[in-house]
Structure 1
Amino acid sequence: MNIKDKILKFIKEQAYKPMNKKELANIFDIQKGDLKEFYSILDEMEKECSVVKTREDTYGVPEKMNLVFGKIQGNARGFGFLLPDDKEDRDVFLSSNNLNGALHNDRVLVRLYKKADGDKRPEGEVIRIIERGNKNIVGIFQKSKSFGFVVPDDEKVSVDVFIPKSESENARNDDKVVVEITKWPEGRRNPEGKVIEVLGNVDEVGTDILSIERKYNLSETFPEEVLREAENISEEIPEKEIKRRLDLRDKTIFTIDGIDAKDLDDGVSIEKLDDGNYQLGVHIADVTYYVKENSEIDNEAYKRGTSVYLVDRVIPMLPRKLSNGVCSLNPDVDRLTLSVFMTIDKDGNVKDQK
């Protein structure tokens, strides 16, 4: 059991009374030279939301203090819900007066004041904002004589953002803009921000796509170090690699992608066998040969999670040297795949696979 688990086990004991960090250090017999590391562990546990530090600088666990950690889900009508970190807990209703400056996607600590009653959710109040979820907001700029404000595209962010005249970046009425929040809401005061990018008028072609990209932090460009790593990948497959693999270049393998597709991730092949069954082959581009764990390309792909297909463009998970090149099953070039062959009878039953 590591030190964090030991601390948690102790704090969760029924007889535990809230202690400060010095008292906890005494309990765990922490020597003077190790105090700094011990206090750092308590700070980590607070950031991880496994413990709560009170105003008296004592430590407890949220479940014994009627507190819940989670993320805010806003509503266009001004109220919100807490989606608890513990998925077994019920969502908590938060009235607009009890959000206390918290916005959609913020991580917060909520105190419960009303328990669940049948179908009714428990109710609570935000008492601490741990992490803000909206550093930038995309919306429509509205201009007045001495200031402006931005109406967020995301209806779950139910408050407009106030823009001082000097921070409008010459945005015009009905421009789609990206706003950086400079002052968070307090009491009845709206958040304040500055325009950092003007995407174009709301009715201009292409503005809607740019808005989606900015809203979800989708980047069409890759960091320099990722591009450098991709450029160093050879398009030639070493003979040694070819020899250790099953060679399928004599097979007819085809894709079902449209003729204008740029990245062909997979292909299929089909043959009728002498016994009347069929052999179906499914061939997936072998990305693992090119993308090694913890490489720059791998780390960037992990951040992106997936390729994103928009109306008029694709924002790939991998640099185009891979997505449209060596990891795309283009015709008339050698490509590496992971393949599965299935023996299927005339009724569609899979009889064997390799």
Structure 2
Amino acid sequence: MSNIEKIRSEIVDFLKQKEPTSYSVRQLSEALHYEEASKFRELIKAIALAEREELIVLNKEGKFRLKRASGTIIGKFRANERGFGFVDYDPNEDDIYVAKEYTGSAMEGDTVEVKITGKPEPWNSKGPEGRVVQVIERNTNRIVGEFFPYDSERREETGFLGYIVPQDNKLNHMVVYVLPDGLQAVEGSIVLAEIKEFPTAENPVGMTGFITKEIGHKNAPGVDILSILYKLGIPTEFPQDALNQAEAIPFEIPQEELENRVDLRHETVITIDGADAKDLDDAISFKKLTNGNFQLGVHIADVSYYVTENSAIDREAYERGTSVYLTDRVVPMLPTKLSNGVCSLLPHEDRLAMTCMMEMDGTGKVVNYDIYPSIINSKQRFTYTAVNEILEEGNPEIRREYTDYVTMLEGMRDLHHVLERMRRKRGSIDF
């Protein structure tokens, strides 16, 4: 075996170990210790030999990977409303195009095995083509759609209550035949169904399932939004153990907790939010110091005091990840008693917070700061509209209404301009 063949074998063995990762020539030289000039030239020759022998392939990012001998690839199927789809399997490779007639029973998000049927043509921006050989793992087992009932004769003949047409446009060529195992819905209902049998290669459009929830009639107000939530798997209700934990939380702050925190209830703290906001989770305080510096306090609702690690609420919040804002409602991450109650910095209510108190000079540089648990009492709830009326429009009526806060708001505006100038000096771009 020549030295070039030996290096070729090293390359192939290395890529086998690192499959499916792709490597550039430079990365291969570093990993295999062929960085010295003469060795690097031999590495290049070995790479060229491996490519000629079709042991490795070059991807669109200019990196090499092992050629897959089986001729099939496993990846995620992404459906298109017009019936065709793509299989995504490597961020450094072109997606595999799957024509409508070759998608089989694959649905959006499924893990599939696909066989390559057409090679890519990089010179005309054409990627590889393939057909789905099998579905390895289903992405979802729930469907949201409109229910169409059968009459009694058809029910007896088929054993189905009717069928569901999925609302998802990527599934609009499929139907779900409804088994009598679940709920019975009326015509025109938007329902949530659990799939019992998925489409097969022989019957790629038909599924069977049973109704687990009747979301509402298709013409009822708000049902369209609710159906989106169910389709995306966003929970609209909290489990009972989380609700029980929330219900047990007192509105009053224990005396021992007051003694362990910095008491800022004497400070002028305000909130500024949208007019419809109910979960007020941050507040600010501001004053000009005798030395000419600015003092800015940022106060964040101390949710961690109420939501302890691995508690029922904590586990549910972890699953949700965030609150979800829709056109007509919010699906909160925490039960309402917390999100809109004890953890919302409502005016004239004592609330637990985490405070960052900062002192800044005339250039916006932070010269001193401290972070600590605190107790605050918001003196005023402002809306963005009211603040703009005071500062931008100079509305005399609104300024009279909030006369006790005008000087504070104007000082905050001055600090804003100072910080804005500092950001621009650092290269900030405004769009």
What's the TM-score once normalised by structure 1's chain length? 0.72
Which residue number in structure 1 is paired with residue 146 of structure 2? 140
Distance 1:344 1:70, change over 3 A: farther
Structure 2 residue runs of 5 or longer lacking an equivalent are 1-12, 19-65, 156-161, 370-431
For residue 280 of structure 2, the aligned residue among 261, 264, 270 is: 264
SS in 2 for 1:195: strand
State the alpha-carbon separation in 2 of the partners of residues 313 and 133 from structure 1: 27
For residue 130 of structure 1, the aligned residue among 132, 136, 147 is: 136
Greater mean alpha carbon deviation, residues 67-76 or residues 262-271: 67-76
Structure 1 residue 173, shift from structure 2 partner: 4.5
Which residue number in structure 2 is paired with residue 70 of structure 1? 75
State the alpha-carbon separation in 2 of the partners of residues 290 and 165 from structure 1: 44
1:7-27 Cα deviation digits (max 9, x unpaired): xx999359xxxxxxxxxxxxx
RMSD of aligned alpha carbons: 3.2
Alpha-carbon contact 1:78-1:158 (below 8 Å) kept: no
Structure 1 residue 300, shift from structure 2 partner: 0.8
1:16-67 Cα deviation digits (max 9, x unpaired): xxxxxxxxxxxxxxxxxxxxxxxxxxxxxxxxxxxxxxxxxxxxx9956454
Structure 1 residue 154, shift from structure 2 partner: 1.5
Are 1:298 and 2:314 an aligned pair?
yes
Which residue number in structure 1 is paired with residue 102 of structure 2? 98
- Aligned identity (percent) is 43
Which residue number in structure 2 is paired with residue 176 of structure 1? 190
Distance 1:242 1:92, change over 3 A: farther
State the alpha-carbon separation in 2 of the partners of residues 68 and 341 from structure 1: 56
Distance 1:191 1:108, change over 3 A: same
SS in 1 for 2:351: coil
Greater mean alpha carbon deviation, residues 316-325 or residues 238-247: 238-247
Distance 1:237 1:143, change over 3 A: closer
Equivalent position amino acid for 2:145 in 1: G
State the alpha-carbon separation in 2 of the partners of residues 65 and 311 from structure 1: 49
Which residue number in structure 2 is paired with residue 211 of structure 1? 227
Which residue number in structure 2 is paired with residue 12 of structure 1? 16
Structure 1 residue 208, shift from structure 2 partner: 1.1
Are 1:160 and 2:142 an aligned pair?
no
Distance 1:106 1:243, change over 3 A: same
State the alpha-carbon separation in 1 of the partners of residues 309 and 136 from structure 2: 32
Structure 1 residue 264, shift from structure 2 partner: 1.2
Which residue number in structure 2 is paired with residue 53 of structure 1? none
Structure 1 residue 98, shift from structure 2 partner: 2.7
Distance 1:280 1:67, change over 3 A: farther
Which residue number in structure 1 is paired with residue 405 of structure 2? none
Which residue number in structure 1 is paired with residue 270 of structure 2? 254
State the alpha-carbon separation in 2 of the partners of residues 241 and 352 from structure 1: 30
Alpha-carbon contact 2:164-2:178 (below 8 Å) kept: no
Distance 1:124 1:345, change over 3 A: farther
Greater mean alpha carbon deviation, residues 316-325 or residues 233-242: 233-242
Greater mean alpha carbon deviation, residues 307-316 or residues 70-79: 307-316
Which residue number in structure 2 is paired with residue 41 of structure 1? none
Which residue number in structure 1 is paired with residue 84 of structure 2? 79
Distance 1:246 1:181, change over 3 A: same
Give the length in aligned residue pairs: 298
What's the TM-score once normalised by structure 2's chain length? 0.60
For residue 165 of structure 2, the aligned residue among 143, 146, 151 is: 151
Greater mean alpha carbon deviation, residues 144-153 or residues 240-249: 144-153
1:147-179 Cα deviation digits (max 9, x unpaired): 744332221224221425857965455432222
State the alpha-carbon separation in 2 of the partners of residues 224 and 10 from structure 1: 53
Are 1:284 and 2:284 an aligned pair?
no
Which residue number in structure 1 is paired with residue 43 of structure 2? none
Which residue number in structure 1 is paired with residue 92 of structure 2? 88
Distance 1:265 1:95, change over 3 A: same
Structure 1 residue runs of 5 or longer lacking an equivalent are 1-8, 15-60
Which residue number in structure 1 is paired with residue 423 of structure 2? none
Which residue number in structure 1 is paired with residue 409 of structure 2? none
For residue 332 of structure 1, the aligned residue among 341, 348, 351 is: 348
Structure 1 residue 304, shift from structure 2 partner: 0.8
Greater fraction of residues in helix: 2
Structure 1 residue 68, shift from structure 2 partner: 3.6
